Structure 1
Amino acid sequence: MLIGRVLSIVLAGALLAGCGTASQEAPRQAAPTGAFPVTIKNAYGETVIKQKPQRVVTLGLGDIAVSNALGANIVGSVKNYTGKPLPYLRTKLDETVYAIDPDALNIEKIAAYRPDVILALTCSGLDQAKYNALSKIAPVVTYEKELYSSPMDQDALTIGRALGDEAGARKLVDDANASIAKVKSELPRLAGKTYLYGQARGDVLPIVVGKDNMSTKFMASLGLRVPDAFASVQTSSELAPGTIGLSYETADQLDTADALFMTFAGPDDQARFESNPLTRDLKVIKEGRYQATTIEAAQLLQAPDVVGVDYLLNQLKPTLAKIGS
């Protein structure tokens, strides 16, 4: 992601770390739907939620979207890097709710919300020390292994269990799967087509090709794949997990893709990418198979969540239709 913090969100944090599609089954843990107490294991320990939460704090964008769609009473949340509410939020939240800095979690401010549970499955600022501090305030529900490493259906079901509404979460998962299936049905020629997704950042073009990246898995759920020339290249975490770094001088490799999606660290980067002859004259761009993604779409490609699937598909569909209809 990019535009200032976009960088840290989408690319730096993992323009694409690992994430999954909505088709993977989430592991079941303890208690049946709606029953408490609920025990949920995570990367930092084990969380026990004794009763249905009435006051919820959310520390990641996916946490906001899913818990909001499930009707949770969100009393405090991280600010979106765009300064605006998520465009796909089901129910509008009061602006005063967005008061937590995602880059510098304020433990005292979070405590002041008097939460019953803290949702942090997509929180980029969590570590063991912060987890321990937050756990003294309320049960903390976070990722099972590492940030952006679990499929979006698993995250949704985990949030559903924490909130006592796994059935509602299951419906969100089913709806997301249905939306993906609908696009595949409408664009039958997508299957097997190739794409590339990356960012223009100064002189460097980090391109996400790692098979375990969230964007890679989401695109695979639509039948898309990275070009053969990139399928087995050695990726690195130096620029962002699962990426390779191209330069403008090697940008001709982008023409191996049927479709190209790019995000930008800032407006100057976009202007440079779209005006530089080394990229401007690429066939994939001249033929209209290139798309500059919005920040919101880049955020969702970084960390897909079941509530944002329709929005993301609608954002990508104009370009997908050019190669898949």
Structure 2
Amino acid sequence: MTRRLAVAALAATTAIALAACSSDDADTSAAPGGDGYPVTIANTFGETTIDAKPETITTLGWNAEDIVYALGETPAAMPRHSYGAEENGVMPWLQDRYDPSATTLLDTENSTPVEAIAAVGPDVILAPYEGFDQDTYDKLSALAPTVAYPGDAWQTSWQEQTEIVGEALGKSDEAAELVRGLDDTLARTAAEHPEFEGRTISVIDVSQPGTVNVYMPTDARVQLLTSLGFTLAPGVQALADAAEDKTFFTEISAENVSDVDADVVIAFSTTGTDPTTSPALAGLGATERGGLVPMTDTKIVAGLSQSSVLATPWVLEQITPMLSEAAQR
């Protein structure tokens, strides 16, 4: 699924300006906020300092809300999702945690809703994975300390995301325990399925006729699968090595899809069409052998894409049987 960077929000409103003034006043007079505070967290735009334990938490992008819930907190605001979500705009693995009376869902489909976030009155904005620009970061930071992604957008590992959110919420020990727990789950799954070991894999999106999106080693999907014992297809690694910029996917011509063939090929389409109808897949060795894993359920595609301490255990239950069958072909 192609993830789009959020465009810059509308010009700052009077409410945002007032919020910025309030924030500045608080910064000059803030006292230590309890054990572990203040904390300073580096991000791609600089550093963010949180003076006291946040009570009103806003999340942006993918995964941050999963981590907040897993740490026993409740976000005051989080994105409303469309792709892969239930009818209420919340992912399936969060249905038993989400309370509509406690959490506002934000429309983040086309832009970062700065005014809607301001209305929530956040103490912190957590976005360790979401991609936005300096201008948006500045507007958000005028509302509350904003914990942005630390390196490249959409490429923060689930482990680092968990650690960052844990530090921001004063729950680093609990976050470390969550990381250990999911690492154990992944290791156990790999041990239970030795057929994964050494089998090559590639993940592709065939949504657009004539082109194929190939996911790179820094992509969450690929990292999850290689942690189970799979090996990245040589053709995919070659694309990554040749890329001038570090990116989580690259687009190739459909006529070159054989370059990224593998023992197991996961293919999906974000348009709702059956990926097996794509002519690009017809000549793959994986297709001929039965090593093609077409994913038509958008919830499963989203769960695979949103690697997190809550999404990943849920999606493993869905995809492990499919992966096992394909790996043995």
TM-score category of the 2 structures, normalised to the smaller one: 0.7 to 0.9
Give 1:263's match in structure 2, choosing from 265, 268, 271.
Answer: 268
CA distance in 2, matches of 1:297, 1:236: 29
| Matched residue, 1:16 | none
TM superposition shift of 1:39: 1.1
Instruction: State which drifts further: 256-265 or 315-324.
Output: 315-324
Unmatched segments (≥5 aa) in structure 2: 7-31
8 Å Cα contact 1:36/1:52 also seen in 2: yes
CA distance in 2, matches of 1:275, 1:159: 41
Amino acid at match of 1:189: E
Q: How does 1:148-297 map to 2 (within 5 A)?
A: 148-200=154-206, 201-208=208-215, 210-233=216-239, 235-236=242-243, 241-247=248-254, 249-253=255-259, 256-268=261-273, 270=274, 273-275=275-277, 279-280=281-282, 282-293=284-295, 294-297=297-300
CA distance in 1, matches of 2:205, 2:242: 15
TM-aligned CA distance change 1:220 to 1:38, over 3 Å? same
8 Å Cα contact 1:193/1:323 also seen in 2: no
TM superposition shift of 1:236: 4.8
CA distance in 2, matches of 1:146, 1:175: 26
User: Considering only CA atoms, is the larger Rg found in Structure 1 or Structure 2?
Assistant: 2
CA distance in 2, matches of 1:276, 1:295: 17
TM superposition shift of 1:198: 0.5
8 Å Cα contact 1:216/1:225 also seen in 2: no
CA distance in 1, matches of 2:42, 2:230: 33
Amino acid at match of 1:55: T
Higher relative contact order (CA 8 A, sep 6+): 1
TM superposition shift of 1:223: 1.7
Q: Percent same amino acid at aligned positions?
A: 23
CA distance in 2, matches of 1:107, 1:145: 22
| Matched residue, 1:45 | 46
Unmatched segments (≥5 aa) in structure 1: 2-6, 14-30
**1:118 is aligned to 2:163:** no
CA distance in 1, matches of 2:262, 2:35: 46
**1:312 is aligned to 2:315:** yes
Q: Secondary structure at 1:309's aligned position in 2? A: helix
Give 2:92's match in structure 1, choosing from 77, 87, 95.
Answer: 87
| Matched residue, 2:77 | 76
Amino acid at match of 2:98: K
TM-aligned CA distance change 1:64 to 1:230, over 3 Å? closer
CA distance in 2, matches of 1:282, 1:148: 29
8 Å Cα contact 2:38/2:52 also seen in 1: yes
Amino acid at match of 1:309: T
Name the TM-score, length of structure 1 as normaliser.
Answer: 0.79
- Size of the alignment, in residue pairs? 292
Name the TM-score, length of structure 2 as normaliser.
Answer: 0.78
Instruction: State which drifts further: 193-202 or 279-288.
Output: 279-288
Deviations 1:189-213 (A, max 9, x none): 21110111101122212222x3333
Deviations 1:14-43 (A, max 9, x none): xxxxxxxxxxxxxxxxx9x95111111111
TM-aligned CA distance change 1:206 to 1:99, over 3 Å? closer
CA distance in 2, matches of 1:141, 1:276: 40
